[in-house]
Amino acid sequence: MKIIINTSSMVPIYEQIIDQIKTMIRKQELKQNDQLPSVRALSKELKISALTVKKAYDELEREGFTVTIHGKGSYVTAANTELMMEEQKKEVEQDLEQAILKGRRFGISDEDIKTLFELILEG
């Protein structure tokens, strides 16, 4: 599995792992029942703490993207299209919020921001 860690990023390493695994699932690079590398193997490959990988795997399981079978490993769960769509909407919402905040920092009025969004939606 190809995961790239950016140590100079402000995004915590465990979140980088989560984001990249979710992307692989969305793109069907990881499919239902595919086994993820063991915590120990991935931590060794990425040269990071096993606790960091464990934290990422625990979060993926909590969110329903994987399931862990004690003594066997972590596996991708059935693709829940609603869950994936919700995740994608959440990402877009966060990006839009950042764009609005940036516009406000630049002194653009909310009305002008709204007009910009409408123009973008019109294509």
Nearest to 74 by CA among 87, 64, 86: 64
Whether residue 89 is found in the same domain as residue 114? yes
Q: How many domains does the chain have?
A: 2
pLDDT for the residue numbered 80: 67
Q: How many CB atoms lie within 10 A of CB 44?
A: 13
- CATH number of the CATH domain containing 56: 1.10.10.10
pLDDT tens digits along 49-84:
999 999 999 999 999 899 999 999 999 998 666 777
Residue 123 has, within 13 A of its CA and on its CB side, a CA count of: 0
pLDDT tens digits along 84-120:
778 788 889 999 999 999 999 999 999 999 999 899 8
1 domain residue, yes or no = no
Could you write out the DSSP letters of every residue in 71-91?
A: TTEEEEPP--HHHHHHHHHHH
Whether residue 50 is found in the same domain as residue 86? no
pTM of full prediction above 0.85: no
Which runs of E-coded beta strand occur in the chain?
Answer: 66-69, 73-76
Spatial separation of the C-alpha atoms in residues 123 and 104, rounded to whole Å: 23
Cα 5 to chain center, whole Å? Answer: 13
Spatial separation of the C-alpha atoms in residues 25 and 103, rounded to whole Å: 33
**Structural domain range at position 89:** 81-122
pLDDT for the residue numbered 24: 92
Whether residue 87 is found in the same domain as residue 100? yes
Whether residue 112 is found in the same domain as residue 61? no
Chain length of the chain? 123
69 domain residue, yes or no = yes
Q: How many CB atoms lie within 10 A of CB 117?
A: 14
